[in-house]
Amino acid sequence: MRLRNNPKAYDIMKENKSFVILEPENCKNKWKDIFGNNHPIYIEIGMGKGDFIYENARQFPEINFVGIEKYPSVLAAAINKINAREEKVNNLRLMHYDAIELHQVFEKDEVDKIFLNFSDPWPKSKHAKRRLTSSKFLDVYKDILIDEGNIEFKSDNRGLFEYSIISLNQYPMDIEYISLDLHNSPESEINIMTEYERKFCEKGPIYKLVARYRK
Ligand code: SAM
């Protein structure tokens, strides 16, 4: 997601430090203190404007959620959207950070689940390493996830989905669930939509998989 540069993005982050993490590296190994409890931690990488992670935090108060977004202007848009919501949540934190560095922010076993929703497809093969399901990123996720943890990935992009199945399989990870048409599957009843999903679900199927690192 690209938004016009918002020159106030950093100010918006600073004004919302009750739920925006300004120095993510200082949180490593301290997430239980930050949330004030030892509930599981689920993170969404590339959270965009945050509809999915906010709604998860609202529906599941016994889980802590951390939304991670690479671009400050996108994060600022998410902060504004969350502030505009009537219902406040205290189990949600957001940060501006590049996923490739997440081992600087979370210790091994600090994360219980990772969501990747509608990640940028980077269709040219010369950009394959930028895909959030490429092996470089899978190394990072493995470093922070508990052994029983899993990755949930949704996409409308058939090419990225096929690439991801191969990449996860080769890593090796086991794919435990797969849907080639999430919105017409029984799981659609509990599915929480993202901004992209709402936009693209009319145009074609939504794909989903859940994968776990092989021991
Ligand atoms: N998840 C949202 C949704 O489904 O509506 C946004 C999808 S958008 C296509 C992908 C998002 O991932 C963008 O906001 C982009 O800035 C973010 N992103 C891409 N690479 C990233 C990275 N390495 N670390 C963190 N966020 C990243």
* Each residue's pLDDT tens digit, 156-166: 999 999 999 99
- Integer Cα distance of 95 and 72 in angstroms: 9
Q: What pLDDT does residue 49 have?
A: 97
Q: Taking the model in full, what pTM does it have?
A: 0.98
Which two tokens mark 68? 């991670």
CA angle 168, 70, 135 (to 5 degrees): 20
- Integer Cα distance of 187 and 132 in angstroms: 24
For the CA of 51, the closest atom of ligand 1 is 5
180-188 average pLDDT score? 97
Q: Where are the alpha helices (DSSP H) in the chain?
A: 9-15, 31-35, 51-59, 72-83, 135-144, 158-170, 195-200
138 alpha carbon, distance to own chain's centre: 13
CA distances for 193 relative to 45, 64, 165, 199, angstroms: 15, 19, 22, 10
- Integer Cα distance of 193 and 117 in angstroms: 9
pLDDT per residue over 30-64, tens digit each? 999 999 999 999 999 999 999 999 999 999 999 99
Residue 115 Cα to ligand 1 middle (Å) = 11
For the CA of 154, the closest atom of ligand 1 is 4
ipTM topping 0.90: yes
**Catalytic annotation present for 51:** no
Going by DSSP bridges, is the β-strand pair 207-213/145-155 parallel, antiparallel, or unpaired?
Answer: antiparallel
Asked whether the predicted pLDDT for residue 2 surpasses 70, the reply is: no
Residue 148 Cα to ligand 1 middle (Å) = 25
pLDDT per residue over 132-147, tens digit each? 999 999 999 999 999 9
